[in-house]
Amino acid sequence: MTEFAGAVPAGFPLPSDGYSATKISLDEILIRDPASTYIMRVSGDSMTGAGIYSGDEIIIDRGIEPKDGHIVVATLDGQSTVKRLLVTPTGVTLKAENSEHPDITVPELSELSIFGVVTRSLHKLI
């Protein structure tokens, strides 16, 4: 348990109305279903445009059905990656969120599996 001190504006500073701390559980905030949740550390910078940086931990929920537009952990022909899933009538693309990295168009006879949907990125600030 961690103490929750309330909301704080990120814009113009407001006078404090007093400090009130309550107990919160980060598990309750970050994890929908503990039995289907995993945490992985990201390596590489292909997803920086989505706010996911090398060294970040991502929370993956295997209980969420992957849909077009979700960020997923995918395995394509034995190689794992984190990308945005794009599903179109012409096929599947694993989209990088960094223009320096190419998108991956999934060839028709390739073996693609989705490990889970990324629900959060934990980014260290210091």
pLDDT tens for 20-72 read 667 888 888 899 999 999 999 999 999 999 999 999 999 999 999 999 999 99
Whether 20 is in a domain gets the answer no
Whether 111 is in a domain gets the answer yes
What percent of the chain stands above pLDDT 90?
A: 72
Whether 117 is in a domain gets the answer yes
Residue 112 has pLDDT above 80, yes or no: yes
pTM for the whole structure: 0.82
Whether 62 is in a domain gets the answer yes
Whether 101 is in a domain gets the answer yes
Greater model confidence, 124 or 13: 124
Whether 23 is in a domain gets the answer no
Q: Could you tell me where the beta strands, DSSP code E, fall in 7-70? A: 22-24, 37-41, 57-61
What CATH code is carried by the domain that includes residue 51?
2.10.109.10
CA distance 95 to 85: 6
Give the pLDDT band (50/70/90) at residue 79.
very high
CA distance 89 to 92: 8
- For residue 77, give both structure tokens: 């022909």
Give the pLDDT band (50/70/90) at residue 7.
low
- For residue 104, give both structure tokens: 């991956």
Greater model confidence, 10 or 33: 33
Domain residues for the domain of 98 are 33-122
Whether 19 is in a domain gets the answer no
pLDDT (0 to 100) of residue 25: 87
Mean pLDDT of the chain, nearest integer: 89
Structural domains counted in the chain? 1
pLDDT (0 to 100) of residue 80: 96
CA distance 83 to 68: 11
Give the pLDDT band (50/70/90) at residue 3.
low
Question: Per DSSP, what are the bridge partners of residue 51?
Answer: none
CB distance 47 to 97 below 8 Å: yes
Whether 81 is in a domain gets the answer yes
The residues annotated with a catalytic role in the active site are 46, 83
